[in-house]
Amino acid sequence: MSQKRSSRITMGPGGIVYLLITSLILGASIYTQANLLFWGFGLMIDGLISSVGIAWYSLRQIPINCLLPLHGVVG
Tell me which amino acid residue 65 is.
Answer: N
- Mean pLDDT for the stretch of residues 58-73: 81
Give the per-residue pLDDT at 13: 92
Q: What is the pLDDT of residues 35-61, one digit of tens each?
A: 999 999 999 999 999 988 888 888 777
* Share above pLDDT 90 across residues of the chain, in percent, rounded to a whole number: 48
Instruction: With beta carbons less than 8 A apart as the criterion, state whether 64 and 6 touch.
Output: no
pTM equals: 0.67
Tell me which residue of 59, 21, 58 sits closest to 43, measured CA to CA: 21
